[in-house]
Amino acid sequence: MENIIIGVAIGFIPMLVLLIVQYSKHTAKTKAHKQEIARLKSMVTDRMDLESEGLSKLKEEINELRSQNENLRISLRGYAQKPGRKEVARLHVYQQAADRLTINSPGFGAAWQAALKESEDEFEKTFYGVQPFIRRVIPLKSSDARVVGQLEKDDD
């Protein structure tokens, strides 16, 4: 019986040593895993914080751009309603129509250029020299017939 106890003791001691070694390895691995999990958690938390800051900045920028867009829309509407805007747009339409007529109508171009030159000369005279003073004192009405009559005289 003694031999059996000695045999069991000899088998039990290496098993106990092996169990202690395996337990210490398992503890070390568990500790390493916990450290890795903690490191990954901190990385994920940092990334989420950065993305959260980025999203909040983007949302603020979007709101700011929306308010600027609204202000610009209101300003544009107000600018379009200022006196003289409709007249300028109408003059632009007239200019395009005159350009098209100049290109498409063979006789219109020369007459148009002559009328334009006379109108520019008359416009300059109305703002500079003696004629503005006379017009203030004696208002004269000009008609289209007079302009056409002067064109006929210039063509002869």
* Mean pLDDT value of segment 67-76: 90
Q: Which range, 19-28, 87-96, 128-137, has the best average confidence (pLDDT)?
A: 19-28
- Please give the helix or strand (H or E) that residue 81 lies within, else none: none
Q: What is the mean pLDDT of residues 48-62?
A: 94
pLDDT at 151 over 50: no
If DSSP codes are grouped into helix, strand and coil, which group holds residue 143? coil
Q: pTM for this one?
A: 0.37
Phi/psi of residue 152, nearest 5 degrees? -65, -40
Q: What percent of the chain has pLDDT over 90?
A: 37
Q: How confident is the model at residue 150 (pLDDT cuts 50, 70, 90)?
A: low
Mean pLDDT of 88-104: 77
| Residue owning tokens 């600027």 | 68
pLDDT at residue 104 above 80? no
* Nearest C-alpha neighbor of 30 from the set 22, 41, 20: 22
Model confidence at 144: pLDDT above 70? no
What is each CA distance from 144 to 141, 154, 155, in whole angstroms? 10, 15, 17
Predicted local confidence at residue 59, as pLDDT: 95
Kindly state the average pLDDT of the residues 95-114. 75
Answer yes or no: is pLDDT of 156 > 60: no
Asked whether the CA dihedral 28, 29, 34, 40 is positive or negative, the reply is positive
Better-predicted residue by pLDDT, 25 or 144: 25
**pLDDT given for residue 1 in this prediction:** 79
Which has more confidence, 28 or 79?
28
SS3 121: helix
Name which residue leads in pLDDT, 69 or 105: 69
